[in-house]
Amino acid sequence: MSRQNRHRRAARTGVMTLVVAATVACVSGGGFVLAGLDRPSADASAGAAPTGVRITLTTTAAVAAVALATDVDTRLGLPAPASLSAERLTDAGTGRVVDVVTDLDGDGTPVAISRFDLGGQLVSSVRLGLRSGVGTRVTSGFALSHAATIAASAGIPTSGAASVTTRAAGGWLVRWVRTVGGVAVPGDGVGVQLDADGSFHAIVRTEHPLAPAPSAQIDQARARILARARLDMWLSADLRADATISSITLAWVAPNDTFGDPLPTASPGVLRLAWIVRVTTGGSLADRVAGLEIAFDAGNGTPLGGDVLE
């Protein structure tokens, strides 16, 4: 989300006339991007270098973390490293405290990184370096089956249907989206990355903290009324007809200030159950804004921000 701050600032300055905000964002950023509801997905951070606030790690905890990493390396079929180093930090993405263990080769170069929560459960493991694969490219069906086997071997449970897509660098990405109470948690879930020949590249489990589900919910019709009121406020009469509500769905989201709405004061960073109203555009409005996502708290209808779509 931090990479989109300039777009959110543009939206705030023109919140009463969305078209003005759109023009400012286009000039400053060269076009629209997902500004608010997007969060790191279950495949995005597997290979990232450790980031966050570092915490003192005791010798006992370090030994335990190294033992966990050694076991995971074996279960995932990774080569035995020459040495391992361990540190504890608060993950910058989720706020979770994790132990990070780095596999090093004989020259002290990192070759793999694993993260564990304080309960000893694997959060992610990645084999560093890009490998195009020298064997035959596997099929999507094999990738799905093999990814499920890898997740089971790593002790990470999966549920529901998985999606299988090709990776930009080659190979496959298999993802299971996390659902809670039958509602998707966008960006959360389990992702397995495979090289083109089906060999393991990375696995990551992403889970953000959730606020309690509201005891009573506003319905879809109420969310539609709230969204229409915002569109009526933002858009001039000649452009209002170019904005159409295309769908309304429930999802767990992180509140943001894309549209200048105040953020909830309780439990910052916690995802909340919300109605996501998707708006498509046409006519002259489509030349400036491809679409919008407007979020409303599923319990009381409070605006929770949203996205400006490219």
Q: Do residues 18 and 88 both lie within one domain?
A: no
Q: Do residues 106 and 122 both lie within one domain?
A: yes
Domain count, the chain: 2
Show contacts of 28-32: CB within 8 Å, 24+ apart.
31/310, 32/7, 32/289, 32/290, 32/308, 32/309, 32/310
Q: Do residues 32 and 119 both lie within one domain?
A: no
Q: Which amino acid is at 3?
A: R
Q: Which amino acid is at 151?
A: A
Q: Is the pLDDT of residue 11 over 70?
A: no
Q: Do residues 115 and 133 both lie within one domain?
A: yes
Place of tokens 């701050």: 5
The Cα 161–Cα 176 span in angstroms is 7
Q: Is the pLDDT of residue 186 over 50?
A: yes
Q: Is the pLDDT of residue 229 over 60?
A: yes
- Please spell the DSSP secondary structure of 68-128, one letter per residue: HHHHHHHHHTPPPPSEEEEEEEEETTT--EEEEEEEE-TTS-EEEEEEEETTS-EEEEEE-
Residue 106 placed within a domain: yes
Place of tokens 């409303």: 296
Extract the tokens encoding 246.
């295309």
| pLDDT at residue number 2 | 37
Residue 36 burial by Cβ neighbours in a 10 Å radius (0-12, 13-18, 19+): buried
Residue 63 placed within a domain: yes
Please provide the distance, in angstroms rounded to a whole number, between the alpha carbons at the two ends of the chain: 15
Range of 279's domain?
2-39+213-309
Out of 103-107, 126-130, 265-269, which region has the weakest mean confidence (pLDDT)?
A: 265-269
Q: Do residues 75 and 93 both lie within one domain?
A: yes
Q: What is the pLDDT of residues 232-265, one digit of tens each?
A: 999 999 999 999 999 999 999 999 999 998 888 7
Q: Do residues 131 and 169 both lie within one domain?
A: yes
Residue 293 placed within a domain: yes
Higher-pLDDT residue of 157 and 16 is 157
- The residues with which 202 forms a beta bridge, in sequence order, are 126, 193
- CA distances for 8 relative to 4, 18, 23, 37, 261, angstroms: 7, 12, 13, 12, 11
Contact 243, 231 (CB under 8 A): yes
Q: Which residues contact 44 (CB under 8 A, 6 or more apart)?
A: none
Q: Do residues 60 and 155 both lie within one domain?
A: yes
Q: Do residues 202 and 223 both lie within one domain?
A: no
Residue 45 placed within a domain: no
| pLDDT at residue number 293 | 96
The Cα 82–Cα 76 span in angstroms is 17
Q: What mean pLDDT comes out for the span 146-170?
A: 91
Q: Which amino acid is at 204?
A: V
Q: Which amino acid is at 230?
A: R
Residue 299 placed within a domain: yes
Total Cβ atoms within 10 A of residue 263? 13
Q: Do residues 181 and 223 both lie within one domain?
A: no
Backbone phi and psi for residue 206, each to the nearest 5 degrees, phi listed first: -115, 125
Contact 100, 89 (CB under 8 A): yes
Q: Do residues 107 and 137 both lie within one domain?
A: yes
Residue 94 placed within a domain: yes
The Cα 49–Cα 46 span in angstroms is 9
Residue 47 placed within a domain: no
Q: Give the model's confidence band at 221: pLDDT under 50 very low, under 70 low, under 90 confident, else very high.
A: very high
Domain final position from 206, 235, 260: 206
Q: Do residues 284 and 243 both lie within one domain?
A: yes
Domain final position from 138, 172, 206: 206
Q: What is the pLDDT of residues 67-87, one digit of tens each?
A: 999 999 999 999 999 999 999
Q: Residue 127: name the closest of 48, 202, 49, 206 by CA.
A: 202
The Cα 221–Cα 199 span in angstroms is 48
The Cα 273–Cα 180 span in angstroms is 10
Q: Do residues 241 and 155 both lie within one domain?
A: no
- Please spell the DSSP secondary structure of 285-298, one letter per residue: GGGT-SEEEEEEET
Extract the tokens encoding 257.
């200030």
Residue 252 placed within a domain: yes
Domain final position from 167, 190, 206: 206
